[in-house]
Amino acid sequence: MIPEGPIGALRAAGHVMLLTGAGISAESGLATFRAPLTGLWENFNPMDFATLHAFESDPALVWGWYEWRRMRVMQAEPNDGHLAITALQRKLNGLSLITQNVDDLHERAGSHFVRHLHGTIQQPRCMACGKAHTLPPGIPVEPDGGRKVEPPRRRDCGSLIRPGVVWFGESLPRKEWEAAEQAARQCDVFFCIGTSGVVEPAASLLRLASARGAITVQINTEDTGLEDRVTYNLRGPAAVVLPELVRHL
């Protein structure tokens, strides 16, 4: 049951911002990062897989792991949460969709202008010049957890191709971050959906929106510690809560 507050806030809002995290894709079968037992960071040490140092030390280990994750993304389908966000984007005039996810499930659900704060797994790039690299079509076939796979190299200069994601210690893509910051400073209603809210600077967007006086809403299956900082806390799976919210609009 959705309380009237967030529904009224959405109806009245001129600008709505949504920040999504791994939880929005959980019901598409993609692992989150911090879930006990199944979370990626419960089973793989981020320092071995998600840093520049890790890639430089063992490029094949890191590339193989991202190919395994890319395979999982390509096998997944958008869920009702992704589809509800697309419906929301069509219903409302101003909606900024910012995600920490590297999958393309928002896009495949039909959402437009998705800002990826942590990069996109389908768009690797050259280590030396940053130029985008086109991967061969088709789904890579990787065993669970990946195996070592040599990353491709640029044909002209021989430089290694790296995954198109943001690693620990790296800056966020400037344009994406600026758009996210601006949206947080301007929105009337801010939703954080399926994120633990522990990774900076993405986590600071909620603080920015609150400071601007926006109504803030969390959608999550668990407590995150943000409950006292948001105006409304909607407990439940995003794939259930979001469609219900859209139905009431």
In the bound state with ligand OAD, the residue whose beta carbon lies nearer, of 14 and 48, is 48
Let me know if 118 is a catalytic residue: yes
Q: Does 142 bind ligand OAD (CB under 6 A)?
A: no
Strand pairing category for 95-99 and 16-20? parallel
Which residue in 82, 118, 133, 248 is the catalytic one?
118
Q: Does 220 bind ligand OAD (CB under 6 A)?
A: yes
- Site map for ligand OAD, 62-81, x if CB under 6 A? --------------------
Both structure tokens of 174: 């400037």
Q: Does 39 bind ligand OAD (CB under 6 A)?
A: yes
Both structure tokens of 166: 């943001």
Q: Going by C-beta distance under 8 Å and a sequence separation of 6 or more, which residues neighbour residue 19?
A: 98, 99, 100, 180, 190, 191, 192, 193, 195, 202, 205, 206
Residue 137 Cβ vs ligand OAD, minimum distance, rounded to whole Å: 25
Residue type, 241: V
In the bound state with ligand OAD, the residue whose beta carbon lies nearer, of 56 and 222, is 222
Q: Do 73 and 104 touch, CB atoms closer than 8 A?
A: yes
Instruction: Name the region of 73 (left: φ>0; alpha: ψ -120 to 50; beta: rest).
Output: alpha
Residue from the set 42, 56, 222, 227 that interacts with ligand OAD by CB under 6 A: 222
Q: Does 33 bind ligand OAD (CB under 6 A)?
A: yes
| DSSP 8-state symbol, 173 | P
Q: Do 208 and 200 touch, CB atoms closer than 8 A?
A: no
Question: Please, what is the Cα angle at 85 between 176 and 188, to 5 degrees?
Answer: 65
Q: Does 194 bind ligand OAD (CB under 6 A)?
A: yes
Cα(28)–Cα(65) distance, integer angstroms? 19
Of residues 89-128, those binding ligand OAD (CB under 6 A): 100, 118
Q: Does 32 bind ligand OAD (CB under 6 A)?
A: yes
- Site map for ligand OAD, 151-190, x if CB under 6 A? ---------------x------------------------
Residues identified as active-site: 118
Chain residues in the site for ligand OAD (CB under 6 A): 21-23, 26-27, 32-34, 39, 50, 100, 118, 166, 194-196, 199, 219-222, 224, 237-238
